[in-house]
A and B are shown apart, each in its own frame.
Chain A
Amino acid sequence: KAGVTQTPRYLIKTRGQQVTLSCSPISGHRSVSWYQQTPGQGLQFLFEYFSETQRNKGNFPGRFSGRQFSNSRSEMNVSTLELGDSALYLCASSLAAGGYQETQYFGPGTRLLVL
């Protein structure tokens, strides 16, 4: 079974631009979460999508947004990029069959550099 895939793997943008990152979850997984990883702040939760709805949101400004499609694929968007948005953006998927928590499996990430 294929793992979580993320595209693109690397991206360079300039301040003020916007960017869209894509995530394809493991087949059959319905929940997709996004995390930002930086050396200074570590791994921080951005948001979670389930059944095309945002189910949970972290403490990030409104410039960070996302969506999920009917096939569970997800995209996140960052508008008006700032230098501090340079980070590794990780996507994780889980089965979300209901009940207790399920293991989240991570993709390789998209490394974003903002110049």
Chain B
Amino acid sequence: GENVGLHLPTLSVQEGDNSIINCAYSNSASDYFIWYKQESGKGPQFIIDIRSNMDKRQGQRVTVLLNKTVKHLSLQIAATQPGDSAVYFCAETFYGNNRLAFGKGNQVVVIP
């Protein structure tokens, strides 16, 4: 796949445990952040987003935390399932701009 050969940080997690994926973003002017999941052979799939006026947002089994002070974003996945095995990307942009800047990605491997 597109991420083969790339040495991504890898998180190995036991099925049923919680996962935490971290991302440091680069632009202090960014005010909109998104997490995407990419499975092998597929395009990135939207998971959850957050605007800079929030520091936490919850979805189904996922929570995104934003710390603007240190320009840090995290994605928490509760009760990780085998289907959660993928590469996870954080992306950032700012008001009036559809240009997404992506992080390098984090590989999550779920151990059954």
Contacts and interface: CB of A to CB of B under 8 A. Distances in A.
Interface residues of B, number: 30
Interface string B74-112: 000000000000000101010111111111110000000
B97 A56 contact: yes
A88 interface: yes
Contacts of B89: 43
Contacts, number: 73
B70 to A, nearest CB: 22
Contacts of A39: 2-6
A37 B89 CA distance: 12
B99 A107 contact: no
A86 B101 CA distance: 20
B61 interface: no
Interface residues of A, number: 33
Given A37-B2, A103-B49, 18 more contacts: A39-B3, A40-B6, A42-B6, A43-B44, A43-B89, A44-B102, A48-B99, A56-B98, A90-B43, A101-B95, A103-B34, A104-B34, A104-B100, A106-B36, A106-B46, A107-B43, A108-B43, A109-B2
Interface of A: 4, 31, 33, 35, 37-40, 42-45, 48, 50, 55-56, 58, 87-88, 90, 92, 94, 96, 100-101, 103-109, 111
Closest 3 CB pairs of A and B: A106-B43, A43-B102, A39-B6
